[in-house]
Every structure is written in structure tokens, then in C-alpha cells.
Amino acid sequence: MIARIEAKKHNVKKALVFGTFFVTHSAAQFWSWAYALRNNTASQFWAILSSPLVQLAGFFASQYFWIVAEVNSLLWAAALSFIVFQFFMEP
């Protein structure tokens, strides 16, 4: 019983870290996209946050921009969550 509770706590931690990265990346990506033409800093930020999928998607990104952008945020959240759990969280 206690082992099951501990396993659930670990899954909740993973979900919270992933969710935090996903929401933060999505919000930052939207902000940088919205201000990219007005502000050089936002333009550079957009170039970083939109990689790799938005640049690689080409024509598909023009047609389905926000779908590609959200999948890009999912990719970033998965990668950053993996790094956090691999190197900074205890098992």
C-alpha cells in the first residue's frame, strides 16, 4: 500500500514538472511570436523557442501554425522534464 502511494507521488511529480514546462514554454512561445516584429529581443527569443519543429515544418507550419507550435512545446517539455528527472531529482 505504501509503495503504491509512493509510486503515485512520483507520477504526480513528473506530471507537475512536465505541465509546468509545457505551460511556460507555450506562454513564452506565444509572447515571443506576438512581439517578434516589434522587438529584437522577442525575435531572438522566438528563434530559440520555435526550434526545431516550426522551422522544419515548412508549408505545414503555415497551414497549421498553432498545432505545430503546441507539438513543439510538447517536445520541449518532454526533453526538459527528462533532463530534470535524469540529473536533478532523486529516484
Residue 5, C-beta contacts closer than 8 angstroms, at least 6 positions apart: none
Q: pLDDT tens across 37-91, in order? A: 898 998 999 999 988 888 888 888 888 988 999 999 999 999 999 999 888 877 6
CA angle 41, 32, 54 (to 5 degrees): 115
Closest of 76, 67, 78 to residue 25, by C-alpha:
76
Q: pLDDT tens across 10-45, in order? A: 788 889 999 999 999 999 999 999 998 898 998 999
φ, ψ for residue 31, nearest 5 deg: -60, -45
Q: pTM of the entire structure?
A: 0.82
